[in-house]
């Protein structure tokens, strides 16, 4: 156990930069020496991507409600059909609204 702890301490004290340089390929080292690189780790992402992702999750989760209906739609009768029609109408109105607002246009 003592040997494992000392090896762990040695690993913690090691120069991380030297270890990082060992992992780089020669091409990457040359690129970094010229002052280039892959860029910052935190890049700005347009809001459009986040909005599309949220809309996908929203509509994807709403589609989950169709599965229980599909299993028991015969037992629900006309009342179940009307409720599912209202649900579909709400989804359709929301979809048309975001379409008219231009959310899906990638200018």
pLDDT value at position 26?
78
Cβ neighbours of 95 (radius 10 Å): 14
DSSP, res 42: S
* Helix (H) / strand (E) containing 23: helix 16-23
Confidence (pTM): 0.51
pLDDT tens per residue across span 10-47? 666 666 666 666 777 777 777 777 766 556 656 676 77
Q: At what angle do helices 47-64 and 66-100 cross, to 10 degrees?
A: 150
Question: In this structure, is residue 39 part of a structural domain?
Answer: no
**Closest Cα partner for 83 from 100, 98, 99, 68?**
68
Give residue 65's domain range: 47-100
Count of structural domains, the chain = 2
Question: In this structure, is residue 6 part of a structural domain?
Answer: yes
């Amino acid at each position: 156990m003592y040997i494992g702890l000392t090896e762990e301490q040695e690993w913690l004290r090691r120069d991380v930069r030297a270890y990082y340089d060992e992992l780089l390929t020669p091409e990457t080292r040359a690129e970094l020496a010229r002052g280039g690189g892959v860029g910052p780790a935190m890049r700005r992402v347009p809001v459009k991507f986040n909005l599309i992702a949220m809309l996908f999750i929203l509509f994807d989760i709403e589609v989950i409600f169709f599965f229980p209906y599909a299993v028991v739609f015969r037992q629900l009768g006309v009342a179940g059909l009307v409720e599912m029609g209202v649900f579909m109408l709400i989804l359709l109105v929301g979809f048309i609204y975001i379409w008219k607002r231009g959310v899906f246009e990638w200018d």
